[in-house]
A and B are shown apart, each in its own frame.
Chain A
Amino acid sequence: MASEGELSIQNVTRQFGGVVAVNDVSFDTRPGEILSVIGPNGAGKTTVLNTISGFYHPNSGSILFEGRNITDYSPSRIAALGVARTFQNIALFRGMTVLENLMLGRHVHMRTGVLAAMLRFGPARKEEVAHRQVVEDIIDFLEIQPLRKRPVGALAYGLQKRVELGRALAARPKILLLDEPMGGMNVEEKEDMARFILDVNEELGTTVVLIEHDMGVVMDISDRVVVLDVGQKIAEGTPNEVKESPAVIQAYLGAQALG
């Protein structure tokens, strides 16, 4: 019996023409853990994430979420099951305010039909308020109250990334896929983001799959680490185990580093 938020990637291969981006990769997430996926550029990390969230379908292999085979599901169906993700390049509507973008993140939970929403009938209003409450909790959690009414496009990059995280959290997911959430941030911004990720994981119990390049962060906050290189998994284990692994050292630093 699969537990809450458990993800299982089994022998997934994804190819683009002649390029085998992901080659027979398998790993599982344990419920409530922070699992980091690391590897040099081009290792296939984002492709793995895209495959999980349904943007791509694997050429072979399967993906199970909470015991259910979601390999061929559409992205919206996968999101509805409780899988939320952020994008490396930020997928927010730049002309809309922070509040509007976060409310949009609630879309997966909205039940009211278009007509009722347009006319703001009783149940539609109640739903709007309920969603607003969730969004306000997230705004409070991410400490972005001053930015509520500001258009996202006008925000500094680090803050946009924070709002992006908020949008994913708005769906109240069981599992959160974060694609380089700390890209382009300075030390203090990274610390804030790491704190938020830890809080989400500890307070809400959300499983987190994290693609990240900053090794300091990865070693600090991950429960386990999976290492990919040119599409293949070359190591898996606790941060310390992975740090010592010869295969990993070679992949990052070349054979000479092994001395």
Chain B
Amino acid sequence: MAEQTLPQYLLEQARRNPRGIAIREKEKGIWQQWTWQQYLNEVRDFANGLAALGFQAGDKLAILSDNRPQVYWTMSAVQALHGMPVPLYQDSIGAQLEYVIDHSDSIMVMAEDQEQVDKVLDSKANLPKIRQVIYDDPKGMRDYDDPLLIRFTEVQEMGRQYAQEHPNFFEDHIAAGKADHVALMGYTSGTTGVPKGAMLSHANLITAVQGMEEVEPYYPEDETIAYLPPAWVGDTFWSLAGSQIRGFTINCPERPETVQENIREIAPHFIVAPPAIWENLVSEVQVKMEDSTFMKRWLYNRFMPIGYEVARAQMEKKPLTGRQKFLRALGEFFVFGALRDQFGFRRIRSAYTGGAPLGPEIFLFFRALGINLKQVYGQTETGVTCVQRDDEVAMGTVGTPFPNVQMTLSEDGEVLVSGPTVFLGYYKNPEATAETLQDGWLHSGDAAFFDQNRHLVVIDRAKDVTSLSDGTKFAPQFIENKLKFSPYIKEVVSVGQDRPYVAAMINIDMDNVGRWAEKQRVAYTTFTDLAQKPEVYDLISREVDRVNSDLPDTTQIRRFLLLHKELDADDEELTRTRKVRRGFVAEKYADLIEALFSEEVNEVPVKSIITYQDGRQSTIDTKLAIRSVDKVLTSV
């Protein structure tokens, strides 16, 4: 019998491979593990417990947690009962949190620990539909007596009772599951407007995984790390669907701060990360190299060029010369193998980057190290749809669509997608659904084209590709990615729509610039203070010059300023997946943008309210310097 739903795949996995390791979590310094049989037992107990609490088919359950086995057990349990899991970004607070939980009509919340429970209880008055708040980690909650609260293990205990009274309830429900039932409600991050609840069916997720598997091999013995937010559909795709279908092992880190260490311990076979992570890793290597011994620096500088050379040759499908092979082998021995091991990438077969474009320099860096870094492309509404095959990795493209995905371009160059992975629609939002899904084609909102090899090249979000006042087109992300390659720059917002030139608002990378400042004997106190130091402006100016030398004259950055605070999701300037919300930022910093385009203005006052993690607010009141780039550099 072919499996139609994820819970059916889970049953099959436990039947076929009961003693295989399904999932691990590091706790108190030790990797705890669960076999598929144990995983199934946990899911069964929780599902029965939810039923005992009155959870029914069609109900929704919101999840507020870091990556833990309980998250995936909850999702499976809810699916088994024909309900819909609604994972939220674990750093959501206040209005954002209330919106998603309420809009989704969730009747229960699974909150990981005291911090998450507090957030939900604080918003209780605005969440009238919530009947139960299930928590896992009891630390700090001894005196909590809210009647909504119930512990995860208690629900499972109720489940075992329930199973005695209703012996086949669980298995019967799973057997009755259908492929077109909703498996997940994923709220999209919303760079514009309010988040929308995308409904993905079991068929969507399963065909997406199957499509991926036709192109990329996965094995039951594979290990991977589950560290990306459960609210991001990519995590459900790999850590829930992929794992249950193929049987590979998911490893949950001890804490978000220990992820790198945990990756080193596990040495996963494949890994997925958004560009920000890859950028951070590069910055880390660059900075650590500066701090390391002369010998190591010398070896690194000596061998990186051959790494780049070989990586480029491989991408252009040129055969390697004897000299290249020899030097590359030496480099492998001295530098590349060690660096890969440092990252925990010793066993990596495929490393994926997706979610936003990755700067070519960053991409090339990892390929030079011998890491098979590849672009994937997709979105919540379609699942992952494209990946670069091993033999077609090239810079700037996102590869070709999976065999079961149809992709074409609209007249305006927008990517349209069709096939079994396309979602069912937005929950309670027929207008948005009708706009996005027309005649069976999903409008992705991405501007792209197919290159001569029929590989997809994504330019930018269609809405963001814009032009200067004289009509010259430019894609902000293209320029921003180039700047972000610098270890000193964390985030950039470039502006220029209907303006005479391109200008940029830049966030420095506090850690790296701080270290640099210490070496330069520049004293500083806070981020705001550091960002306004003339020496730091000089430093960033050099980075801007570097990028400008790579850009056509017309779209070079002419003026820039360093922001007084880091752009933050808590201040709604970034989405929870760390994408810049351009519209919001343009409005909030309208004064700064005006100043950037007023040639005589060299300084602009700014006053901002910042929001701390717990919701408290405070004000920054300061002046920002604006630097003009004097020379117009001609690109070589």
Contact of A136 among B28, B142, B255, B257 (CB under 8 A): B28
Interface string of B245-275 (1 = CB under 8 A from A): 0000000001101100100000000000000
Q: A148: which B residues are within 8 A, CB to CB?
A: 29
Q: 8 Å CB contacts to B: which residues of A140-188?
A: 140-141, 143, 145-146, 148, 188
Which of A136, A145, A148 gathers most chain B CB within 10 Å?
Answer: A145
Q: How far is the CB of B430 from chain A (nearest CB, A)?
A: 44
Report whether A145 and B257 are in contact in the complex, using a CB–CB cutoff of 8 Å: yes
CA distance A146 to B26 in the complex (A): 12
Q: Please measure, in the bound complex, the distance between the C-alpha atom of A146 and the C-alpha atom of B258, giving whole angstroms.
A: 5
Closest to B28 in A: A136
Contact between chains at A202 and B142 (CB < 8 Å): yes
Shortest distance between the CB of B52 and any CB in chain A (Å): 30
Is B319 positioned at the interface, with any CB of A under 8 Å from its CB? no
Nearest B-chain residue to A137, judged by Cβ = B28
Question: CB-nearest residue of chain B relative to A135?
Answer: B29
Verify if A139 is at the interface (C-beta below 8 Å from B): yes
CB distance A203 to B29 under 8 Å?
no
Partner of A145 from the list B139, B140, B258, B612 (CB cut-off 8 Å) is: B258
Secondary structure of the A contact surface, majority rule: helix
Chain B: minimal CB distance from A172 (Å): 16
Proximity string of chain A (13-32) to chain B, C-beta cutoff 8 Å, 1 when within and 0 when not: 00000000000000000000
* In the bound complex, CA of A195 to CA of B30 (Å): 26
| Minimum CB distance partner of A191 in chain B | B614
A136-B29, A140-B28 are known contacts. Are A146 and B261 too (CB-CB below 8 A)?
Answer: yes
Known: A136-B28, A137-B28, A139-B29. A145 touches B254 (CB 8 A): yes
Q: How far is the CA of A10 from the CA of B257 in the complex (A)?
A: 48
Q: Which residues of B (104-162) have their CB < 8 Å from a CB of A?
A: 139-140, 142-143
Q: Is the CB of B142 within 8 A of A145?
A: no
Q: A146 contacts B28, CB within 8 Å?
A: no
Would you call A203 and B258 a contact (CB within 8 A)?
no
- Which of the residues B27, B142, B143, B255 comes within 8 Å of A143, measured between beta carbons? B255
Q: In the complex, are the beta carbons of A203 and B257 less than 8 A apart?
A: no
Q: Does A189 make an interface contact (CB < 8 A)?
A: no
Interface residues of B in 211-251 (CB under 8 A from A): none
Nearest CB of chain A from residue B182's CB, rounded to whole Å:
36
Chain A residues within 8 Å of B612, by CB: 188
CB distance from A93 to the nearest CB of B (A): 20
Residue A241 interfacial (CB < 8 Å): no
Contacts of A136 in B (CB 8 A): 28-30
- Which residues of A pack against B, CB within 8 Å? 132-133, 136-137, 139-141, 143, 145-146, 148, 188, 195, 199, 202-203
- List 21 contacting pairs A-B, 8 Å CB cutoff, sorted by A: A132-B29, A133-B28, A136-B28, A136-B29, A136-B30, A139-B28, A139-B29, A140-B27, A140-B28, A141-B139, A143-B255, A145-B254, A145-B255, A145-B258, A146-B255, A146-B257, A146-B261, A199-B139, A202-B142, A202-B143, A203-B142
